[in-house]
Structure 1
Amino acid sequence: MSENNQIARVPFPAAEEARWPAGAFDGIIAARCMAFLADLLVILVLLAAANILFGILGILTFGLLWPGAALTPLIALAYFTLSLGSRHSATPGMRWQGIELRTWDGRRPGYLQGALQTLLFYVTVTVGTVLVLLVPLFNTRRRCLHDYLCGTVFVRRSV
């Protein structure tokens, strides 16, 4: 074989995990819990408003639009996906608590990773309940099970 036909075997550079400054993970567990409760309150208000809207539309259309109310769970998915994939990398509750989502190498996640984070959160909490909440107690970066699966980490915003 000639030299031009050979495939160059260049080792793939190992991506390094971001090095976070001291204090980047202080109080993350409590902040995530408080942020989730705040976001849950916002989602409940949005769900109530959507159900009222679909109720009114259902009455006005003699029940034709009532099946649209089945789409209201997508409000939570959209809320978290659009918030985590935004330039803030945080939901309003997370911004209130001063935390944000980052990829394991320190970049801001996109909308696809925000959607994956949200879906895996709900799946792992549904399947693993308490185990998901115990995982951050045994690692220094306070990452939950769905954070490991998504390749993300929550840090203090000031970092």
Structure 2
Amino acid sequence: MAARTGDPFQGVIGRRIAAWAIDATLLLILSWVAWGGAALLTVLTIGLAGGLLLLPWALILPILYGTLSIGSPLSATPGQAAMGLVVQSEVGGTAPSFGQAFTSTTLYALSWAMGGVALLAPLFSARSRTLHDLFSGTLVLRRSRAVQPACKPGRSDQVQNQGLAAEDG
């Protein structure tokens, strides 16, 4: 088992905000590409592919982006990785599953859709956790101070909890 040095949650809120700015910029570019591609395809098919323009790209792209990024071996969105953050499963400190990544990302998108008030939760959490972190069973922490699992991912029966599953407060 690797030892932890320092507080893995120190400075996470500021880094998450900067990561959000990076991810929002990347998503804006992806949105332009998706809309442009859908518009071009609509023109090329003489309107037959026009239904692609009606898709809620503003909801679909962020969910795909977050789920595929967090569920990847990187265990972070590109913005989070650039800011030295990593997403881990609350129990065992392993990489989050795609189910956890999807739950987290979907609840994050819904938090924004409801005005973003739920995103203020880290201000009242000892581990800087948002509500979508709590409900998906994930933690966002500094990569350099992340808890390393005691065994290979997928063998959660042998991984020790290492004290991270305690309630926030």
- Structure 1 length as normaliser, TM-score? 0.81
Structure 2: how far apart are the matches of 1:95 and 1:114? 15
Q: Which moved more, 1:55-64 or 1:120-129?
A: 120-129
Matched, 1:62 2:49: no
Structure 1: how far apart are the matches of 2:76 and 2:8? 15
Q: How many pairs were matched up?
A: 140
Selected match of 1:82 from 48, 68, 76: 68
Change (3 A) 1:138 1:21: farther
**CA-CA distance at 1:64 after TM superposition:** 1.0
**CA-CA distance at 1:78 after TM superposition:** 1.1
Selected match of 1:158 from 140, 144, 159: 144
Cα RMSD (Å):
1.7
Contact 2:62 2:109 in 1 (8 A): no
Provide runs of 4+ in structure 1 moved above 6 Å: none
**CA-CA distance at 1:54 after TM superposition:** 1.1
Matched, 1:35 2:19: yes
Structure 2: how far apart are the matches of 1:21 and 1:148? 24
Contact 2:104 2:136 in 1 (8 A): yes
SS in 2 for 1:79: helix
Matches within 5 A, 1:4-153: 21-71=5-55, 72=57, 73-105=59-91, 106-127=93-114, 129-130=116-117, 132-153=118-139
Identity, % of aligned positions = 35
Change (3 A) 1:153 1:128: farther
1:68-125 per-position Cα deviation (integer Å, ceiling 9, x unaligned) = 1333342221111100001110011001000011111211101121111000111233
Structure 1: how far apart are the matches of 2:26 and 2:86? 18
Change (3 A) 1:23 1:128: same
Structure 1: how far apart are the matches of 2:70 and 2:54? 24
Contact 1:39 1:93 in 2 (8 A): yes
Kindly indicate which of the two structures has a greater share of residues assigned to helix: 1
Structure 2: how far apart are the matches of 1:120 and 1:70? 23
**CA-CA distance at 1:42 after TM superposition:** 0.5
- Structure 2 length as normaliser, TM-score? 0.77
Change (3 A) 1:133 1:78: closer
Matching residue's letter, 1:120: L
Q: Which has the larger radius of gyration?
A: 1
